[in-house]
């Protein structure tokens, strides 16, 4: 069972690197639109892509710092979504948004299942 936890953590690393490739593609397509057609400049996508590559490589190599860097944005976005929905929305939609915010926080817990195997 412990071996599958490490495999799952490595799988999250590969998934994160795939996400970084998608962000890089979006940046390159936006750069083309910005240069040719005067579209908006979404340069932070390259920074998010770099962050995702670093975290993905760390998760593949089973590093503890990568698990922490993987969890911080997910917990931050999930808690922000939950608190924001409690402040701004009416009650029927509020429960749905709170559930989505908590679901966004859940993947942050997955690398910590194999914390004892991380270096």
**pLDDT tens across the length of the chain (119 residues):** 456 677 888 898 999 999 999 999 999 989 888 888 888 888 899 999 999 999 999 999 988 899 899 999 999 999 998 888 888 877 766 788 888 888 988 888 888 777 777 88
Provide the 3-class DSSP secondary structure of residue 65: helix
52 vs 58: CA distance, rounded Å? 10
Domain count, the chain: 1
Query: What is the span of the domain harbouring residue 51?
Result: 2-117
């Amino acid at each position: 069972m412990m071996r599958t936890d490490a495999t799952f953590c490595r799988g999250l690393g590969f998934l994160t690197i795939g996400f970084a490739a998608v962000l890089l593609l979006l940046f390159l397509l936006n750069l083309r639109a910005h240069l040719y057609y005067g579209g908006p400049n979404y340069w932070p996508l390259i920074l998010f892509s770099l962050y995702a590559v670093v975290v993905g490589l760390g998760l593949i190599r089973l590093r503890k710092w990568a698990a922490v860097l993987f969890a911080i944005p997910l917990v931050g976005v999930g808690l922000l979504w939950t608190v924001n929905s409690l402040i701004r929305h009416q009650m029927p939609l509020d429960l749905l948004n709170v559930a989505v915010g908590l679901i966004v926080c859940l993947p942050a817990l997955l690398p910590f299942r194999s914390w004892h195997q991380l270096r």
